[in-house]
Structures are given as C-alpha cells and as structure tokens.
A and B are shown apart, each in its own frame.
Chain A
Amino acid sequence: MKLSSNKHYQAWFKNPWTYVTGAILLSIFQIATIAVADGAWGVTGPFAVWGAWVYQAFGGNVDNWYFFSTEGGRAALNRTFLTDPASVRNLGVVVGALLATLLASQFKFKKIKNLRQVAAAVIGGLLMGYGSRIAFGCNIGALYSGISNLSVSGWVFALFMFAGAFVGSRLLVRYFMQ
C-alpha cells in the first residue's frame, strides 16, 4: 500500500486540520509561551530588533531611537538571536511550515504571475511592517495576544483591522480579478 493513500498519513499530514483544532493548539502554545518565554506571543517585534542588529553590525547606532528607549526594547537589543525567545520562535514558525509542507508533499516554488503581484507584495509588506510598529504589534502580538490577555487594545485593533481588510478586499477585487 502506498503511503500517500494511508488514511492516518492523510489525516495527520496531508489534509488540512480543522479551524477548531488549530485554534485549540494555538491557545495551548500561546499559554506555554507566556509561561516559559518572556511574554505574550508576538511575531513582528523581533523584525525591528533584527533590523537594529543589522544596522548596528554596519556601525549604526539606535541608542536614541524612541522605539528602543524602553526597558524591553533595550533588553531585546542586548540579546542574541539564539538567546531571544521571540526570534527563535519565529525561526520555528518558518521551519515548522516548511516541514509541514514537505510532509504533505506540497512544496512548490510558485511562479510569479505578473508585476502586480510583486508590487502588491512589496507595498503591502512595507505597509504591514510600518503599521505593526506604530500599532505596537501585528495581528498576533496586538490582536491575538491582546484579546487573549483581556486587553481592550486588542479589540480596538480588531475594529480597525476589519476596516483595513474591507478596503484591502476592495482593492484586491479591483486590481487582481482580470
């Protein structure tokens, strides 16, 4: 019997798990994160720290940047990639996703269809990166961790995220449906 037609292989590795299963696992792991790492789950915070590390490696100085003037910001700067829980966790997300797609035999380099996709990815990435810094988090750090830790800020974030998603989906239908 071929592995690809084994029903346990299909259930565990091939078919997508349900949203409920995903939600429960995310909840358990984010509690574990709070328990053993240095705070709530976040994704984009480390990107700013990585940027600062690279900038410092080239002789730059971020000491008087407001973003790194807080105690937490300074502490993150003084760590290294392997001693920073959030950085290692981000690496784990990428490695885990790669592993999952390989186990499902679904790895593929997808071709870029047109320049619009490139433009949207670059502009969207810059906007998300900038936005997540001035909002003190992305949909994980500000929304998910915010709401699950009973912070009102998470709900405020959700409100504006829906407004942004509404505009975004309009733009998507306008520019990507040909």
Chain B
Amino acid sequence: MAEYELDCLGEACPIPLVKTENRMKELAVGDTLIVIIDHSCALKNVPEWARKNNHTVEVEETGDSEWEIFIDKSA
C-alpha cells in the first residue's frame, strides 16, 4: 500500500505517459503512483491509459495547469 511520486513537471508528451507506464511496472498491486504533470495532453492520455489497464484513477487540479494523477495499481 505504498505511495510513490513521479514528478513530470516541465515534461511534454509523450514522456509523462511513457514514464508512468514504466514506473507502474515496478509497483506492487495496491500501491499508488502520484503523477505530477503540467501538460494538459498528459491529463488526457495518462488517465486514459490507466483506465484501459483497469487501474483506479483520480485526478486533482492542484494549480493553474498543474495536476496530480492518482493511480492505484489493481493488477
């Protein structure tokens, strides 16, 4: 049930998505990854990828053009 952060501030697409995919492989089931982004395209493709892989996703807007994407690894 550990929580990890992945800082993708200043990274353009598709780097946040590829980094998220790689990092999620290292996590155990039940762990949460918090992806911090400031590119709106990552706001679309990161949650889309995670939902497609049956993870639970929550997005929080933390500032102007800044978001935290919470991904619970489910499988």
B52 to chain A, nearest CB (A): 15
**Complex Cα distance A58/B22, Å?**
52
Residues in B whose Cβ lies below 8 Å from that of A112? 10
**Complex Cα distance A113/B11, Å?**
8
Residues in B whose Cβ lies below 8 Å from that of A177? 15, 18-19, 22
B15 x A108 contact (CB < 8 A): no
Asked if A93 is at the interface (CB within 8 A of a chain B CB), the reply is no
**Complex Cα distance A151/B27, Å?**
49
B10 x A110 contact (CB < 8 A): yes
A68 to chain B, nearest CB (A): 34
Give B1-40 as 1s and 0s: 1 = Cβ < 8 Å from A's Cβ atoms: 0000000011100110011001000000000000000111
Give A97-124 as 1s and 0s: 1 = Cβ < 8 Å from B's Cβ atoms: 0000100011110111100010000000
Closest to A111 in B: B10
Residues in A whose Cβ lies below 8 Å from that of B15? 172, 176-177
B68 to chain A, nearest CB (A): 15
Residues in B whose Cβ lies below 8 Å from that of A173? 18
16 contacts between A and B (CB under 8 A): A16-B40, A16-B44, A105-B64, A106-B65, A107-B64, A108-B64, A108-B65, A110-B39, A112-B10, A113-B9, A113-B10, A113-B11, A169-B14, A172-B15, A173-B18, A177-B15
- Contacts A111-B9, A111-B10, A177-B19 known; list 11 others, CB within 8 Å: A106-B65, A107-B65, A108-B65, A110-B38, A112-B10, A113-B11, A117-B10, A176-B11, A176-B15, A177-B18, A177-B22
